[in-house]
Chains A and B, each alone.
Chain A
Amino acid sequence: MLMGAEWQAIALTLKLASVSTALLLLLGTPLAWWLSRRQGSFAAAIEALVALPLVLPPTVLGFYLLILLAPNSAIGSAWQSITGSQLAFSFEALIVGSVLYSLPFVVQPLQQAFARVPPTLLAAADTLGAAPWDRFISIVLPTTRRSFLVAAALGFAHTVGEFGVVLMIGGNIPGETRVLSVALYDQVESLQFAQAHQLAAGLLIFSMLTLFALYRSEPNAGWAIKR
């Protein structure tokens, strides 16, 4: 059976995925909206930046994040002087990494959905006295709400499944940065195949069920990964 350390890793992973997903929706929504309404080189550059984690080895992102968040970096030292603790190899660093790493999985489905909202409907709402913010709340959100489900599910599942970035910037501190994928790696390293099977199978089934539920409810959700 799973032991205390494994349960701790599972709880930490779920916490990381939940916090990251919430932040991803918060940041990803305005970014996706902006990208869906803009054309030109600048928007294309931002779009490419957001999509980078899809093609980059996670270790590359992790490596640069490690440098960026290290105690002697501007961000790292500012963080240390405010909070009194180190940013690299902390739970907060994992959140930063997860958000960046899963950003395309949230931004792309939202951007696609926003782009499909007919401008004609927004113009109609405009003539009916709806201010821009009101139009977003009253027209865009309700007509794209299923895409938020897709974005949240993909962001959550992808964060649960991440490994490379976590290893580079989080290390392996139980209860702080030792997430499921890292725990699994440890077990394989120490040849504990029975426990490794439990975690691996659990993760496999979780991911499978999440994606199955997603595609059942939203047959076109697949483009975000296939792209």
Chain B
Amino acid sequence: MSSLTVNLKCEGAQGFTLNCALQLPLQGVTGVFGPSGCGKTTLLHCIAGLRDPAPHSVIHHGEDVWLAGGVSVPTFQRGVGLVFQDDRLFPHLNVSGNLDYAVKRRHSKPPYSRDTVIDWLGIGKLLLHGVSELSGGQRQRVAIARALLNGPNILLLDEPLAGLDYNAKQDCLKRLTLIAKQTKLPMIYVSHEIQELSHVADDLVIMREGEVTEHGPLIELAGSLESSLARDSNAAAILQASISGHHSQWHLTELSIANQSLWVNALPDSQISQLRLRIAARDVSVTRSRASDSSILNSLAVTLTAMQPCGPGHMLLQLTLGEQFLLARITRKSADQLALQPGDKLFAQIKSTALLSDQGYNE
């Protein structure tokens, strides 16, 4: 499989030095996560050729050399799509004109049509509008459409949803997730919000002060106690589930994870058969026996694989079901009372509503 290989040194604006060596697959969505000012944007700008890194830096895109030994392919010849945090629509062109600008200069003919892209992003009614008439969410959707229509060989997204309100953000995320699946276009998605990346990313790169600290499949990192993600008070595991049935009499949808049932508030009956769940560690508790007299609907049989202290009064547990991981944050007192040991067979109780608060859509 071909990959994007970067080996970069670059002085950042905030006094750090970007110093990273990465090999990113040219397929799927790679999320780049880290606090603001850790060098994520500098990394993207170097890949796009908008910034000149220090000598001896190298960027290979598959077989193509973009940067090496004094050779630097200029940005406009790299065929990199970049969606900026600010939409950067051209103010002298209307929406349609902005899209045509990209079509006219496209790098290669994309496998989707202009109309399809307009449909994906729901901007059909905006085509004749001036860009100043658009809301933030609309502008960003147009910017994404413009980048897609340029026929890029890789799409870089630099905090594309940072300035949007909650609803616009959720809407854009759904669309981006769908687009990633439909186009199979490799994407690098930069964000300082792990929730956002949980929706779309396949792989995750975690950065801190200009350096890459972790890199791996998102689901593995999210379920690992070693990852810095586990140290966050919002730590959450990500699980893949399939829809096994809709039960209209209870207004619930039944999901299947590792041959076990999980009940969630009724999902719209759609074509989606697979979906991604984000389950916060603080919404999971454990019992030694399956409680039959509890109002908690979801109780999954799991194995305790690892545990570690989490703050002064809590323990973080890693629980496995099949190949997947759940995290649970419980008090140390509970852990002592239950005398938990790795290898224990337990039942994880999940509040049904916790599943819905922040779920991704995966087709």
Q: Interface residues, chain A, CB within 8 Å of chain B?
A: 120-121, 123-131, 134, 138-139, 142-143
Q: Considering the complex of A and B, which 8 residue pairs feature the smallest CB-CB distances, nearest first? A: A129-B105, A124-B88, A126-B75, A127-B82, A142-B92, A129-B76, A128-B150, A126-B76
Bound Cα distance from A138 to B98, whole angstroms: 11
* A139 closest partner in B (C-beta): B90
Bound Cα distance from A127 to B144, whole angstroms: 13
Bound Cα distance from A125 to B48, whole angstroms: 12
Bound Cα distance from A142 to B49, whole angstroms: 25
A126 touches B101 (CB 8 A): no
Q: Which residues of B contact A127 (CB under 8 A)?
A: 48, 50, 75-76, 80-82, 147, 150
Bound Cα distance from A130 to B76, whole angstroms: 6
B105 touches A121 (CB 8 A): no
B84 touches A131 (CB 8 A): no
A120-B88, A142-B92 known; A128-B101 Cβ under 8 A: yes
Of B80, B84, B88, most buried by chain A (CB within 10 Å of CB) is: B88
Bound Cα distance from A130 to B74, whole angstroms: 10
A128 touches B86 (CB 8 A): no
Bound Cα distance from A148 to B92, whole angstroms: 16
A138 touches B76 (CB 8 A): no
Q: Is B37 at the interface (CB under 8 A from chain A)?
A: no
Q: Which residues of A contact B107 (CB under 8 A)?
A: 129
* B75 closest partner in A (C-beta): A126
Interface string of B42-64 (1 = CB under 8 A from A): 00000011100000000000000
Total contacts A-B at CB 8 Å = 58
Q: Which residues of B contact A126 (CB under 8 A)?
A: 49-50, 74-76
Q: How far is the CB of A213 from chain B (nearest CB, A)?
A: 23
A129 touches B150 (CB 8 A): yes
B76 touches A124 (CB 8 A): no
Mark out the residues of chain B between 247 and 269 whose CB falls within 8 Å of any chain A CB in the assembled complex.
none
Bound Cα distance from A121 to B106, whole angstroms: 17
Q: Interface residues, chain B, CB within 8 Å of chain A?
A: 48-50, 74-77, 79-82, 84, 86, 88, 90-92, 101-102, 105-107, 146-147, 150
Of A124, A125, A139, A142, most buried by chain B (CB within 10 Å of CB) is: A124
A129-B76, A131-B76, A143-B91 known; A123-B105 Cβ under 8 A: no
Q: Which residues of A contact B77 (CB under 8 A)?
A: 129
Bound Cα distance from A123 to B86, whole angstroms: 12
Q: Which residues of B contact A139 (CB under 8 A)?
A: 90, 92
Bound Cα distance from A139 to B92, whole angstroms: 8
B91 touches A123 (CB 8 A): no
Q: How far is the CB of A138 from chain B (nearest CB, A)?
A: 7
Q: Which residues of B contact A120 (CB under 8 A)?
A: 84, 86, 88
Q: How far is the CB of A6 from chain B (nearest CB, A)?
A: 44
Bound Cα distance from A152 to B106, whole angstroms: 35
* A131 closest partner in B (C-beta): B76
The one of A129, A131, A134 that contacts B106, using a Cβ cutoff of 8 Å? A129
Q: How far is the CB of A126 from chain B (nearest CB, A)?
A: 4
Q: Would you mind naming 28 contact pairs between A and B with Cβ atoms under 8 Å apart? A: A120-B84, A121-B88, A121-B90, A121-B91, A123-B50, A123-B75, A124-B82, A124-B88, A124-B90, A125-B101, A126-B74, A127-B48, A127-B50, A127-B80, A127-B81, A127-B82, A128-B146, A129-B76, A129-B79, A129-B105, A129-B106, A129-B107, A129-B150, A131-B74, A134-B76, A134-B105, A138-B101, A143-B92
Bound Cα distance from A60 to B84, whole angstroms: 52
Bound Cα distance from A131 to B105, whole angstroms: 10
* A141 closest partner in B (C-beta): B92
Q: Which residues of B contact A142 (CB under 8 A)?
A: 92
* A138 closest partner in B (C-beta): B101
Bound Cα distance from A127 to B153, whole angstroms: 12
Bound Cα distance from A142 to B146, whole angstroms: 19
